[in-house]
Structure 1
Amino acid sequence: MHTVGLVLAWLVAVMIIWVGVMYLLKNEANAAGFGLPNLPDRPARAWWQLKGVRDVTSGIVVILLSLVQPTALPWLIIAETLIPFGDMLVVLGNRGSRARAFGIHGLTAAVMIIAAVLLWLG
């Protein structure tokens, strides 16, 4: 179970790093997939770049902690679950796409919780 949890943790970490890099490089194109109903004007693109920095950093922290302090990894993953859960609430609170809110952000939070539980059980 531990190995499956670790693989899930790394998979989510690598995926969120990739998402973050895409927000840094092509933020308007990626922002459309976030689930919010309206995108900010082009001058406000820095907000999407901030999301990119957050995502890259979150993924790197998971990978680094798994290497240097693996017993703390499930706790970090649970704490970082607040990010996709919060994103889901923001999308829903702004009348964005329910499918994207639950299918992207909610599913990510659920996979993270599963990874943490598997790490604890392993």
Structure 2
Amino acid sequence: MGLAITWIACIGIIGIGIAYWLRNEKNAEGFGLPVLPAPEARGWWQVKGIRDIASGLVGIVMIFAEPDAVAWVILVEALIPIGDMTLILGNHGRKSAAYGIHGVTAAFMVLAAILLLV
């Protein structure tokens, strides 16, 4: 079960990353912050996209290259949605997005890590 959750998280975040990388304005609205960046600063959403793609690829590579370490990698990578949630809340963004998207993602990643460790 932990491995299935890990695959879902990795594939899902790669898809989200690709969407941010290609169509950053539309996806930025769903992130949860109250104000979109100015047009000249929207490249930052593409940076987020690359981060998400790389995070998902790290998990997939670890599944094949070092399966015994996957749980620890996923546990550490859970800091990313926790950080995103904290940023949204700290910038007075939508609590529903902070908790419902980023908080739930972090919780599932921690659950996957725990299931992989036991």
Which contiguous aligned blocks of 4+ residues in structure 1 show a shift greater than 3 angstroms? Answer: none
- Letter of the structure 2 residue corresponding to residue 8 of structure 1: I
Q: Alignment length, in residue pairs?
A: 118
The alignment yields a C-alpha RMSD, in angstroms, of 0.4
2:28 pairs with one of 22, 27, 31:
31
Structure-2-length-normalised TM-score? 0.99
Where do residues 13-32 of structure 1 align in structure 2 (5 Å cutoff)?
A: 13-32=10-29
- The residue type equivalent to 1:99 in the other structure is S
Alignment of 1:59-98 (within 5 A): 59-98=56-95
CA–CA separation in structure 2 for the residues paired with 1:43 and 1:9:
35
TM-score, scaled to structure 1: 0.96
Inter-partner Cα distance in structure 1 for 2:40 and 2:63: 38
1:43 Cα offset (Å): 1.0
**Deviations 1:60-113, CA, capped at 9 Å, x for gaps:** 000000111010001001110110000000000000000000000000000000
Q: Which blocks of at least 5 consecutive residues in structure 2 are unaligned? A: none
Report the identity percentage: 51
- For the pair 1:113 / 2:100, whether they are aligned, the reply is no
User: Could you list the runs of 5+ residues in structure 1 that have no partner in the other structure?
Assistant: none
